[in-house]
Chain A
Amino acid sequence: MLGLISLKFLRNNRYYPFAMLLVLFCGALVGNLSAEDAAGYQSVGKRAGVWNDGQAALWDLNIIDHFHYFGPVARARGHKPEQPIKFSHVTHVQKNKMECQFCHWTSAKSPYAAIPEVQTCMGCHSLIGGTTPEQQGEIAKIKDYYAKGEPIPWAKVHVMPDYVKFNHKRHVKAGVGCQECHGQIQEMEQVERVSSMKMGWCIDCHRERGANIDCAVCHH
C-alpha cells in the first residue's frame, strides 16, 4: 500500500503537497526554516517586501515552501542549473553594455520572452572569438551547434507551472524592469532564480501598482 502511494508520489509532483501533509500529520515536523533562511525568502527579487505584509510568512515559509525540497527544484528560489554553455551576463551586459532586448528580442513582442536563436549569437560570434581560452572554448561550442544546425539545449531557470499563463509582453510594456523579477541579472555569471515567483509575490506587486488581480488574467 505505502509502496503504491510513495511510487505515485515520486512519479507525479501533484502528490507532493499531499505527501508533505501526510508527513506533517504523522507528526514528523520537517525542520523549520532557520530565521535567516526565512529572511532570505522574504527579501525576494528587488523589492524586499514581505508578501502580504508578512501575514503569510509563518505559514507558507514553513509548510508550502518546504515542498520545494520534496517537489521540483526548478520551482524553488535559488535554482541555478548548469548551462550547456557558460554564458555570462556580466560580460555581455556590464562589460559590453548590451541591451537586454538586443538578444531577448521577443520579450516585448510575445507572451514568452524567448531565448535568442543560435543565429543571434553567431551574429557577433562569427567575428568575436573571445579573449581567454575558456571563452574561446565556449564560443567554439556555439559555432559547432550552429554548424550542426542544432539548438543549444539551455536549462530553464524560471520555470512557471502550466497553470500560470504569464504574459511577458504586457509586463515589459508596463515598464516593469527586468531586475524586478529576474534580480540583478547583469551581475550573474550563471543565471539564478532570485524570485520565488509565487502567487503572493505577484499579487503583492499587482496590488501595489493597481494592476489587474482578476484570477482569469493568469489562470485559464
Chain B
Amino acid sequence: MSTEVTKYSGDVTYHEVNETVLSMLEKPTFGWYVLLLTCICTWVMGFGCWISMMIYGLGMTGLSHPIMWGVYITNFVFWVGIAHSGTLISAVLYLFRAKFRQPIYRLAEAMTVFAVMTAGLFPIIHVGRPWYAYWLMPVPNERALWPNFKSPLLWDVFAVSTYFTVSTTFFIVGLIPDIASARDKATSKFRKLLYGITSLGWTGNAKQYKNYVAAYLIFAALATPLVVSVHSVVSWDFAMSIIPGWHATIFPPYFVAGAIFSGVAMVITLVIPLRKVFKLERIITDFHFDAMCKLILLTSGVVTYAYVTEFYVAWFSNNMFERYQFWFRPFGEFKLAFWGMAFCNCMAPLTLWYKPFRTNIAYLFVMSIIINIGMWLERFNIIFTSLARDFIPAAWGGYNFSWIDVGITIGAFGWFGMWMTLFIKFFPSIAIVEVKEVIEAPVRDPHSSVHHH
C-alpha cells in the first residue's frame, strides 16, 4: 500500500507538504517583482495598441477583405483552448479518480480562470465598435431589439461566460481549505485579513469537510459537461459557416481534443519553472509529467487524425472549393503556417513515445512550448487560409502584417502572466489537502515531536 501511495508524489510527509507549499507564499523576492512588472508593462503596451486601434480605426490591424477575422479570433480560440485542460484535470480527472492530478490541478484551474479572462478580451478587441459590444447581451432595451439567437457568436457569448462563472466558482471552492491553512500560518496583517475573509471561516472540522467534498463533487459534475461544450460551441463559430475549410462536422471533437492538447502543454510550461523555483521536485515528480505526456500523446493523436480526416473529406467530397482550399493550405501563401502546425502538433509529440523524453524536464519544457506554438498556428491555419481563398477568385486576398496585432497578442500573455504571478504569491498554487490525500498518512509516533495540523 504505502509504496503504491508514495508513487503519486514523492515520499513527502504532511508536514513537509505544508511547509513547502506555504513557503511559496512568503515575502516576494526581487525576481518576483521583476516578473510582475514585466507582465504589467507588456499588457499595458497591448492596451495601448488597442486604444490606438480604436482611435484610428481597425485599419491598424492586418485584417483586410476578405480576411475579416485574423489574429484576434486566433488568440481568442487559442486562449479558450488553454482554458480547457484546467477544468479537465480538476473536474474530469477528479471524477475518474486519476490520482496524478492532485499536485497540478490547482495550478491548472488558476490557469483556466485567467486564460478565460484573457480570451474574453479578444471578442471585444476584435469588433469594429467595441462600445456597442453590449448589444450582444440579451438585455431588455428601449429599441425592443433582441440579439439574434441563431448566431453562433451569441452562443459563444453564453458558452464562454458560463464556463467562466462555473470554473471560477469551482476554483474558489477548491481553494477554501488551503487558504485556511495559509491563514493559520499568516503573519502579516494584510494576509491575515485576506485569508481570513477568503477562507470563509474554514476550521477543517469533519462536518465542514464533508460538505466541502460534496460541494466539490457537485461542481466537478457541473464543470465536466462544460469541458466538452465550450470548445464545441467555439468550434461552431466556424463549423456553422459556409466557408470551405470551416464548414465541417468534425470541428467540435477536433477542437476539444486540440484544446486539451494545448491546455496540458500550457500546464507543463507553467509547472516546470514553478517546480524549479519553489523546489517542489518532491511533490511534483516525474510520474506526473509522465502522465501528462501520455495525455498529450493521446490528444496529439486525435488532432492529427482530425487533420487527416479534413483532407480526406475534402478529396472525397469532390467539391472543387473544398479541394482548392485543402490544396492551398499545404502549398499556398500560408504554407509555412501549415507545415509549422504539422510539425509541432503531429511530428514533434511523437518523440514522447520514448519514456526517457517523457521524464526529461528540460526537453518537456521545450516540447510544451513547441506544442503551444503549433496550436496557435492551427487556429491561424483554419481562420486565415479558409478566408483567403473561398468561392469567388476575384475576391481573393491576403493579410497585411501589422505591429498592432503583434502588440495585442503579446499584451495578452502579459495580462495572463500578471494574474498568474499574483496568484502564486497570494494563494497556495498546490492543493495541500488533496496532495495529503494521496500521501502516506503519518503514523502516530510517541517519540516524534512533530505536530501535525
Q: Which residues of A contact B (CB under 8 A)?
A: 1, 4-5, 8, 14-15, 17-19, 21, 51-52, 55-60, 64, 198-201, 203-204
Bound Cα distance A15, B143 (Å): 19
Residues of chain B from 339 to 375 with CB closer than 8 A to chain A in the complex: none
Residues of chain B from 129 to 157 with CB closer than 8 A to chain A in the complex: 130-132, 134, 139-144
Closest 3 CB pairs of A and B: A18-B131, A200-B142, A60-B142
Give chain B residues whose Cβ lies under 8 Å from the Cβ of A203: 143-144
Give chain A residues whose Cβ lies under 8 Å from the Cβ of B55: 4-5, 8
Is B10 an interface position by the 8 A CB rule?
Answer: no
Give chain A residues whose Cβ lies under 8 Å from the Cβ of B131: 14-15, 17-19, 21
Inter-subunit contact B141/A60 (CB<8 Å): yes
Is B48 an interface position by the 8 A CB rule?
Answer: yes
How close is A112's CB to chain B, nearest CB, in angstroms?
24
Partner of A52, one of B48, B134, B144: B144
Partner of B134, one of A1, A21, A200: A21
How close is B161's CB to chain A, nearest CB, in angstroms?
15
Inter-subunit contact B144/A4 (CB<8 Å): no
Partner of B141, one of A4, A5, A64: A64
Inter-subunit contact A17/B132 (CB<8 Å): yes
Bound Cα distance A194, B51 (Å): 38
Inter-subunit contact A56/B134 (CB<8 Å): no
In the complex, 15 of the A-B residue pairs with CB atoms within 8 angstroms, ordered by the A residue number, are: A1-B51, A4-B55, A5-B55, A8-B54, A14-B131, A19-B131, A51-B144, A52-B142, A52-B144, A56-B143, A56-B144, A59-B139, A59-B142, A64-B141, A200-B142
Inter-subunit contact A59/B130 (CB<8 Å): no
Give chain A residues whose Cβ lies under 8 Å from the Cβ of B144: 51-52, 55-56, 199-200, 203-204
Q: Mark B409-452, 1 if CB is under 8 A from A, else 0.
A: 00000000000000000000000000000000000000000000
Partner of B142, one of A4, A14, A19, A198: A198
Inter-subunit contact A59/B140 (CB<8 Å): yes
Give chain B residues whose Cβ lies under 8 Å from the Cβ of A4: 51-52, 55
Residues of chain B from 49 to 72 with CB closer than 8 A to chain A in the complex: 51-52, 54-55
How close is A105's CB to chain B, nearest CB, in angstroms?
34
Bound Cα distance A58, B54 (Å): 30
Inter-subunit contact B140/A199 (CB<8 Å): no
How close is B309's CB to chain A, nearest CB, in angstroms?
42
Give chain A residues whose Cβ lies under 8 Å from the Cβ of B51: 1, 4-5
Partner of B140, one of A1, A19, A55: A55
Give chain B residues whose Cβ lies under 8 Å from the Cβ of A59: 139-142
Which of A15, A56, A59 has the most chain B CB atoms closer than 10 A to its own CB?
A56
How close is A33's CB to chain B, nearest CB, in angstroms?
13
Inter-subunit contact A56/B132 (CB<8 Å): no
Give chain B residues whose Cβ lies under 8 Å from the Cβ of A204: 144
Which of B54, B55, B132 has the most chain A CB atoms closer than 10 A to its own CB?
B55
Bound Cα distance A4, B55 (Å): 8
How close is B47's CB to chain A, nearest CB, in angstroms?
8
Give chain B residues whose Cβ lies under 8 Å from the Cβ of A15: 131
Partner of A199, one of B48, B132, B134, B142: B142
With A18-B54, A203-B143 already in contact, 18 other A-B pairs whose C-beta atoms are closer than 8 Å: A1-B48, A4-B52, A4-B55, A8-B54, A17-B131, A18-B131, A52-B140, A52-B144, A55-B144, A56-B140, A56-B142, A56-B144, A58-B140, A59-B142, A199-B142, A199-B144, A200-B141, A200-B143
How close is B129's CB to chain A, nearest CB, in angstroms?
8
Bound Cα distance A56, B141 (Å): 4
B139 (CB) vs chain A CBs: closest residue = A59
How close is A114's CB to chain B, nearest CB, in angstroms?
29
Bound Cα distance A193, B141 (Å): 22
How close is A143's CB to chain B, nearest CB, in angstroms?
45
Inter-subunit contact A51/B142 (CB<8 Å): yes
How close is B123's CB to chain A, nearest CB, in angstroms?
15
Give chain B residues whose Cβ lies under 8 Å from the Cβ of A5: 51, 55
Bound Cα distance A201, B140 (Å): 14
How close is B132's CB to chain A, nearest CB, in angstroms?
7
Give chain B residues whose Cβ lies under 8 Å from the Cβ of A1: 47-48, 51
Bound Cα distance A135, B140 (Å): 49
Bound Cα distance A19, B139 (Å): 19
Bound Cα distance A199, B55 (Å): 27
Residues of chain B from 103 to 145 with CB closer than 8 A to chain A in the complex: 130-132, 134, 139-144
Give chain B residues whose Cβ lies under 8 Å from the Cβ of A14: 131
Give chain B residues whose Cβ lies under 8 Å from the Cβ of A55: 140, 144
B134 (CB) vs chain A CBs: closest residue = A21
Give chain A residues whose Cβ lies under 8 Å from the Cβ of B130: 18
Give chain A residues whose Cβ lies under 8 Å from the Cβ of B54: 8, 18
Give chain A residues whose Cβ lies under 8 Å from the Cβ of B141: 56, 59-60, 64, 200
Bound Cα distance A56, B144 (Å): 7
How close is A29's CB to chain B, nearest CB, in angstroms?
15
A8 (CB) vs chain B CBs: closest residue = B55
B145 (CB) vs chain A CBs: closest residue = A199
Bound Cα distance A5, B131 (Å): 13
